[in-house]
Amino acid sequence: MDKLLTLWTGSGLFNLSGGQFFMICVGLLLLFLAIRKGFEPLLLVPIGFGGILANIPEAGLALSAAENAIHFAKPEVLAALAGILDVSYQAGQSVTPEVLDAFKHAYKLGSYDVVQQVNVLAQTLGYTNGMLYNFYSVSIASGVAPLVIFMGVGAMTDFGPLLSNPKTLLLGAAAQFGIFGTVIGAALLDMTGVMDFTIMEAAAIGIIGGADGPTSIYVSSILAPHLLGAIAVAAYSYMALVPMIQPPIMKALTSQKERAIKMSQLRAVSKKEKIVFPLVVLMAVVLFLPDAAPLLGMFCFGNLMRECGVVERLSDTSQNALINIVTIFLGLSVGSKLGADKFLDLQTLGILLLGMAAFCVGTACGVLMAKLLNVFSKEQINPLIGSAGVSAVPMAARVSNKVGLDANPQNFLLMHAMGPNVAGVIGSAVAAGVMIKLLG
Amino acid sequence: MDKLLTLWTGSGLFNLSGGQFFMICVGLLLLFLAIRKGFEPLLLVPIGFGGILANIPEAGLALSAAENAIHFAKPEVLAALAGILDVSYQAGQSVTPEVLDAFKHAYKLGSYDVVQQVNVLAQTLGYTNGMLYNFYSVSIASGVAPLVIFMGVGAMTDFGPLLSNPKTLLLGAAAQFGIFGTVIGAALLDMTGVMDFTIMEAAAIGIIGGADGPTSIYVSSILAPHLLGAIAVAAYSYMALVPMIQPPIMKALTSQKERAIKMSQLRAVSKKEKIVFPLVVLMAVVLFLPDAAPLLGMFCFGNLMRECGVVERLSDTSQNALINIVTIFLGLSVGSKLGADKFLDLQTLGILLLGMAAFCVGTACGVLMAKLLNVFSKEQINPLIGSAGVSAVPMAARVSNKVGLDANPQNFLLMHAMGPNVAGVIGSAVAAGVMIKLLG
Amino acid sequence: MDKLLTLWTGSGLFNLSGGQFFMICVGLLLLFLAIRKGFEPLLLVPIGFGGILANIPEAGLALSAAENAIHFAKPEVLAALAGILDVSYQAGQSVTPEVLDAFKHAYKLGSYDVVQQVNVLAQTLGYTNGMLYNFYSVSIASGVAPLVIFMGVGAMTDFGPLLSNPKTLLLGAAAQFGIFGTVIGAALLDMTGVMDFTIMEAAAIGIIGGADGPTSIYVSSILAPHLLGAIAVAAYSYMALVPMIQPPIMKALTSQKERAIKMSQLRAVSKKEKIVFPLVVLMAVVLFLPDAAPLLGMFCFGNLMRECGVVERLSDTSQNALINIVTIFLGLSVGSKLGADKFLDLQTLGILLLGMAAFCVGTACGVLMAKLLNVFSKEQINPLIGSAGVSAVPMAARVSNKVGLDANPQNFLLMHAMGPNVAGVIGSAVAAGVMIKLLG
Amino acid sequence: MNELMSQAVDLMIAGMGFVFSFLIILVFATLIMSKLISRYSSPEPVIPARTTRARSSAPTPVDPGTAEAIKKAIAQYRSRHKK
Amino acid sequence: MNELMSQAVDLMIAGMGFVFSFLIILVFATLIMSKLISRYSSPEPVIPARTTRARSSAPTPVDPGTAEAIKKAIAQYRSRHKK
Amino acid sequence: MNELMSQAVDLMIAGMGFVFSFLIILVFATLIMSKLISRYSSPEPVIPARTTRARSSAPTPVDPGTAEAIKKAIAQYRSRHKK
Ligand code: NA
Ligand code: NA
Ligand code: NA
């Protein structure tokens, strides 16, 4: 009887909070979007599922041992933790919600060594890290998962179109205005008092405008880990929405005549150029932006493995087994940040709004940059390929192609748009490096 | 000369204990059973090999740095460890076997932080963790390996037969009597003074009756890690013996007429039902048994990846590269628990006996439940599919089919038995969750 | 402006040291050798790339959190670290290069617990481990990566030729003179005052003569981790140079008549022998050299998985996805040891010289051993297969074959040379075990 | 009846009680789910129930000769690419 | 203009300045690289530019019937070997 | 002869002594094993010795045309499934 009572008071039905219920619905919505609507399913299926797991009441899958100890709130345990966390609490004292908040707050603000010590103590007292917390620590907090995915993306990327028309790198640069414009937007929201952000948070939100999943996750895990869930969800959702977000902006900023511009055939690129290019990028990183070295280094390494032709088995594995394994754990780990207490915040709304703005600004700047280039150069660029500079590989390039075909059924822009598309990946990694350097 | 002496006194021949010799033979026996008799080779080959490695004298592959330091028993090292472990030992004192036992005992009972500290000290003094100890820590102690395997099993499971006849879930429930009956059996052995068990140990032994490898390993790593080796070996061995264990029980409890019952064709199941079902199971976990969330959560996640159709590359990887990698390390890690000092114990004999009983009870209860359902329902179930409720996928279902064919050569039960078979997996995961909740 | 200055003073161009520039060139050279000349590309591509990454100024990818903290040299940080590292430094004191050297030196010599503590403190103060440092810790410092690769190599090895002519094991033994002869060579250099070595360093250098990558990395990670980069680079480079190094020695030590000896057809080997052989090797390890258990244990495990025929999916994974994943991280981790401060040392030059000598001595001893065997045995061995005893699988065997064909166009030695070739792998693992036992 | 036995009996009652409750709820939830899906969804091509894919031993038949040739080709392809 | 806004503006100026500088340098470095390679290397067969391989949807065409047979054979091969 | 040299000589004697002892034991163990197996086991089809499978360069021959078609099909299959 006693035991059945334990089971009942420990059940989800007895403990489910409104916030958890809401977040479980959000998780189901993400699954629906991924499965039925095809929104970036490789990431959103694990993220959505992880989000549901993170909100199972009492399971504490996304919590550390110390957070679980605080949640279960046994007076003697709290008394033991109080010393390390510097919270004033004695063993006899009653456990009010304010007391628990004081503990949670102290844990959240704790320095690296305090967090370590309090977790050792909690494990000594019999609490354990939740499964998703462990996944997050190993895959994201260590930084390894986004980097390995970036290596895999590098191994999947063909720089051929970019090499045959290097000028399109500038389109990838212009589109990064989306990132920094969003930082300004966040500052505006803060200045007008709508919501509060720090510069670190504003920068982490801005990176959504990079339209590149692993970069967003990597940057926000460094600058604002508490926002990582919302930022990753926004980044992948908007990447899936690119075919809806971009075309109106592209059409508004271009004339029918511009959209119908036919671009000349891309020149053929030699194998050697493709092998040397990742090394050229790496050297530029070495000389100018060491802080972009982890991201761009792994990206170039993946691409070199792909192109050099002598390590095909490594390239294959990094494009398949390895990236798949990491994606599964990365997705579940991102989901672990969709806990109700962390996600249901006014800031999340701001993130969703600003993220959308970031995509729009990036798209617009890419298109305008292409028009600007046309002013100075004889060889005309179809400005529709400028929007591909936001990255969102290969979706944005396909959008450029589709809008181009609407304007001129003989106008195949896909290959031309792949140049700025991959340039956008480099561009956002550079922007990420700058942000980490200046704020990290 | 000096050096050759070091080599000789450090050799296995010089140090091999009787227990280690015996356990090496057990390891070879497991390899023989796996390779020649086909006993669950995917697990028993790594387990058997790991068992041999764990018993190599002086190599200390299955020991932590602290255990290795205690084993080599340098007086100054022991004096340093004594402080943390709270053993009374001074640097000058002679090192008797009793002294070493005191150290080993203190280490075994040490709390999480004491174990951590003493290992840091031992590593400072130049000792290292054995290879298998590291494998065990990363794969099993962290809980990740059984969960990842469960995810892979989920991705390999087709719930179609279960969905077309959900009633068979009850057969999977009844077979779990094997688990709890075994706990009673262990209590009986304890009460009659044959051998001693705690309730945690009894529960961990009972889970063998779940006939599901990863669940057994997961539960015993939480409730009774010192028994993990014997429990895992028993679980996999008896799963391989299902075709010998089950048929006599099935025949004893059924009449020829019952065995010949022909079941109606299973209805077709839509894709949508298959996609939604893992989410239904997940919601039931959310609402009723959060403590089953790690196991059933990963299982449902794997199954959703399989059925949703949009993440085929993730599903593929979790069914192949990922599960294979984890199986290798899981098997070697389980083998690390076959050290002579841990395995050669009266309890191991109890585990082998009780584990066998668990399979028999589970089989019987499944069959009887099917007969009970036939009392209340018009649509008759062939009671032979009840035995498949113990899980042991897909072996038990094949046994049902074979015994059915013996009774009636036109009676194909395989598909019908797959329903209770996978229901048994869910049933034991639920039982595992209850045990962890009440005892963990 | 302020921020642009930060970017400029943090750029590589501003900070690049001569040593780093030189090492980046070395990294590019390794890539060139791997890609254009086909020098062991599976390892040298990641190693070369990792070497470049490790030398990006200010990025600190190969440094621990504490090393990064010391590098950035904020007075208040140094004051905090000084206590743990036992360096005399007060907060106000000016930071001279000597002071930094004192810190670096104290960190390098720090015991396990001091290193742990100072890294926790550095992380508390906001510094992080570099990406390559993390890779190194997880893959090499833990010992796991070379062992997993050895398992994969075991799964790729066919012992058939060795089993049909077990006598060739002795050729694999003789070639290990390369290892120990090099130790003598290092002692000579030390005695003559050319450069300084400890016995641990001398042994780690000697293992290059084993001509086996993972064994070299495993041994030097235990005996002399600061030399690991140079040792691994030397080992893989000379393995690639085997077709140039060996033939002159082989020809110098044999007569035309000897080289033309035709060996009798190898007898067929049964499946059972192949299954039992890895267990026989394992038992020899158990009885005689427990310290070779990690290396040879994993090797035999891989081979058993290959031959037993019942765990094909595990064998496949360990030959493909798993070994590829580990190779990528192992290579990058080895590259992390190519930092200018560690690599640009007189010792590196010694390593390159002695490593070459090791290959030559091993080759010669293998050939001479074959001639010695011919003195005592009726059945003549072609001495050219003796050189394959250094390992360098399968390159050395191919060299034997090619030199044999030069002497006698009907003389196919490839299969006969595979015996000593794989025997050499066992031989160096045994030598590694002896070294670890006596010095580790 | 000693301490352990009473704990074991308690565990059995709670455990089997819970397992049955949980799976009975699941039976009903599944039935409701199937009903809802079949009512509110457009008719779609149904998939006949199969065994667990991972262990099935009866895949789609292919002409054995072709299969053999392909298997060899795959082996060749693999050995070429694995190196 | 508050503290955050001035930080944001600073970040934008530094950031976009850097992104453009970096990519402009890369444009020139790439052009120089291509020129050097084409000058100092023997003529080699060039590879026409393709889309990102990983997501391309237009692989070399194969007769659909053969492809189907092969796909089945692969599935069969896999299911046999995965077990 | 200094300290290091004497250590090195010791290491060589112990090391080579051990390597030879170990491998000589292994020679005899292997010969005994083969003898025992051939005596106590029923005759079974023997496998002719091959090179290391992983690096072999001579797989079972397949008609090149077929092989090419299959390789294309595999590539197509992969690119479809990898996405
Ligand atoms: Na971008
Ligand atoms: Na079960
Ligand atoms: Na060797």
Instruction: Assign E2 a pLDDT band (cuts: 50, 70, 90).
Output: confident
Q: Which residues of E touch C4 (CB under 8 A)?
A: 13-14, 17-18
pLDDT at E80: 52
> Looking at residues B283-300, what average pLDDT do you find?
93
> Does residue E76 have a pLDDT over 60?
no
pLDDT, tens digit (0-9, with 9 covering 90-100), for E41-51: 765 554 544 43
Enumerate the residues of chain A whose CB falls inside 8 A of the CB of residue B298.
131
- On the question of pLDDT at C102 being above 90, the answer is yes
**Inter-chain CB proximity D75 and F67 less than 8 Å:** no
The residue that leads in pLDDT, F2 or A438, is A438
**Do C313 and E83 make contact, defined as CB atoms within 8 angstroms?**
yes
Q: What is the pLDDT of residues A163-195, one digit of tens each?
A: 999 999 999 999 999 999 999 999 999 999 888
Task: Give me the pLDDT at residue B173, please.
Answer: 94
Q: Please check the confidence at residue B194 and state whether its pLDDT lies above 50.
A: yes
Residue B1 has pLDDT above 70, yes or no: no
Q: Which of D1, D20, D34 sits opposite B163 (nearest CB)?
A: D34
Q: Which of B341-350, C58-67, C233-242 has the lowest mean pLDDT?
A: B341-350
Q: What is the pLDDT of residue B347?
A: 86
Question: Residue E55 to residues A394, E52, E64, F82: CA-CA distances in angstroms?
Answer: 8, 6, 20, 8
pLDDT digits (tens, 9 = 90+) for F69-78: 555 555 555 5
From the list C13, C59, C328, the residue facing A314 with the nearest CB is C328
The pLDDT confidence band at residue E78, using thresholds 50, 70 and 90, is low
Judge whether residue E37 has pLDDT over 50. yes
- pLDDT for B12 beyond 90: no
Predicted structure pTM score: 0.91
Residue with tokens 């990058």: C332
Residue numbers of F between 24 and 63 with CB closer than 8 Å to E = none
Q: What is the pLDDT of residue F50?
A: 43
* Confidence tier at B2 by pLDDT (50, 70, 90): confident
Residues of chain D neighbouring B276 (CB-CB closer than 8 A): 33, 37
User: CA of D82 to nearest chain E CA: how many angstroms apart?
Assistant: 17
Residue showing tokens 């589709």: A402
Contacts of A322 in chain C (CB under 8 A): 321, 324-325, 328
Q: What is the pLDDT of residue D57?
A: 35
Q: Near ion ligand 1, which residues have CB within 5 Å? A: A 210-212, 391, 424, 428
Q: Which amino acid is at B297?
A: G
pLDDT in tens, A273-311: 999 999 999 999 999 988 899 999 999 999 999 999 999
Identity of the highest mean pLDDT range in A87-101, B290-304, E1-15: B290-304
What pLDDT shows up at residue E75?
A: 57
Separation of CA C177 and ligand 3 centre (Å): 10
Residue D70 at interface with chain E, using a CB cutoff of 8 Å: yes
Q: Is the pLDDT of residue B91 over 70?
A: yes
Least confident of A41-50, A81-90, B278-287: A81-90
Say which of E54, E55, E59 has its CB closest to residue F76: E59
Rounded to a whole number of angstroms, the distance from the CA of D26 to the nearest CA of chain E is 30
How many CB atoms neighbour CB C80 within 10 A? 18
Output the CA B211–ligand 2 centroid distance in Å: 5
pLDDT at C254: 94
| C-alpha B178 – ligand 2 centre gap (Å) | 9
CA of F56 to the centre of ligand 1 (A): 44
Amino acid type, B27: G
Residue C383: name the closest of C244, C262, C259, C264 by CA.
C259
The minimal CB distance from D77 to the residues F53, F55, F74 is found for F74
- Condensed to tens digits (0 to 9), the pLDDT of residues C265-278 reads 888 899 999 999 99
Asked whether residue F22 carries a pLDDT value surpassing 50, the answer given is yes
pLDDT band at E61 (very low <50, low <70, confident <90, very high): very low
How many CA atoms lie less than 13 Å away from B345 in the CB half-sphere?
A: 19
Sign of CA dihedral C62, C65, C70, C75: positive
Say whether pLDDT at D47 is over 90. Answer: no
pLDDT for the residue B378: 84
C324 or D66: which leads in pLDDT: C324
**Quick check: C6 pLDDT over 60?**
yes
The pLDDT tens digits of the residues spanning B392-430 come to 888 999 999 999 999 989 888 999 999 999 999 999 999
Q: What integer best gives the mean pLDDT of chain C? A: 92
Ligand nearest to the CA of B388: 2
Predicted confidence band of residue E16 (pLDDT cuts 50, 70, 90):
very high
Share of chain C above pLDDT 90, in %: 80
List the single residue in D with minimal CA-CA distance to E82.
D54
Does A293 sit within 8 Å of C59, measured CB to CB?
yes
- pLDDT for residue F76: 53
Which letter does DSSP use for residue B168 in this model? Answer: G
How sure is the predictor about D54, in pLDDT bands with cuts at 50, 70 and 90?
very low
| Average pLDDT of span B261-276 | 91
Helix residue ranges, H only, A59-191:
65-72, 75-85, 97-109, 112-124, 131-136, 144-156, 160-164, 169-174, 177-191
Distance B311 CA to ligand 1 centre (A): 24
Against chain B, the chains showing at least 3 CB pairs within 8 Å are A, C, D, F
Q: Do E73 and D66 touch (CB under 8 A)?
A: yes
Percent of chain F clearing pLDDT 90 (strictly above) = 40
Judged by a CB distance cut-off of 8 A, whether residue E81 touches chain D is no
| Interval A204-220: pLDDT, tens | 999 999 899 999 999 99
Centroid of ligand 1 to alpha carbon of B188 (angstroms): 67
Q: Do D72 and F53 touch (CB under 8 A)?
A: no
Q: If you measure CA to CA, which chain C residue comes closest to E17?
A: C4
Checking if the pLDDT of F48 tops 60, the result is no
> C415-440 burial string, b = 16+ CB within 10 Å, else e?
bbbbbbbbbbbbbbbbbbbbbbbbbe
Query: Is A70 a residue whose pLDDT tops 50?
Result: yes
Query: For position E54, what pLDDT does the model report?
Result: 37
Q: Which residues have CB under 8 Å from C267's CB, separation 6+?
A: C164
Burial A54-89 (b: 16+ CB within 10 A, else e): bbbbbbbbbbbbbbbbbeeeeeebbebbbebbebeb
Taking residues A18-28, what's their average pLDDT? 95
Q: Does residue C311 contact residue B41 with C-beta atoms inside 8 Å?
A: yes
Residue B381, pLDDT > 60, answer: yes
Q: How far is CA A103 from CA A70, A98, B87, B400, in A?
A: 7, 9, 35, 56
With beta carbons under 8 A apart, name residues in chain D contacting A32: none
- pLDDT at A265 (0 to 100): 84
Question: Is the pLDDT confidence value at D76 over 70?
Answer: no
Q: Which of A116-120, A132-136, C294-298, C408-412 has the lowest mean pLDDT?
A: C408-412
* pLDDT, mean of residues E26-38: 94
Can you tell me the distance from the alpha carbon of C430 to that of C169, in angstroms, rounded to the nearest whole number?
12
pLDDT tier for residue A389 given thresholds of 50, 70 and 90: very high
Q: What is the mean pLDDT of residues B22-46?
A: 95
Q: For chain D, which chains pass the contact test of at least 3 CB pairs under 8 Å?
A: A, B, C, E, F
CA C228 to chain centre: 7
| C-beta neighbour count of A376 within 10 angstroms | 6
Give yes or no for residue B94 having a pLDDT over 70. yes
Residue B98, classified by CB atoms within 10 Å of its CB into exposed (0-12), middle (13-18) or buried (19+), is exposed
Kindly tell me the number of DSSP H helices and DSSP E strands found in chain E.
2, 0
- Tell whether the model's pLDDT for residue A371 goes beyond 90: yes
Q: How confident is the model at residue E74 (pLDDT cuts 50, 70, 90)?
A: low
Query: What confidence category does residue C193 fall into, taking pLDDT thresholds of 50, 70 and 90?
Result: confident
Q: Does the pLDDT value for residue C23 go beyond 50?
A: yes
The pLDDT, as a whole number, for residue E68 is: 55
pLDDT digits (tens, 9 = 90+) for A330-353: 999 999 999 998 888 888 888 999
**What pLDDT does E71 receive?**
54
Do the Cβ atoms of A273 and E33 come within 8 Å?
yes
Interface partners of F (3+ CB pairs, < 8 Å)?
A, B, C, D, E
The mean pLDDT of chain A is 92
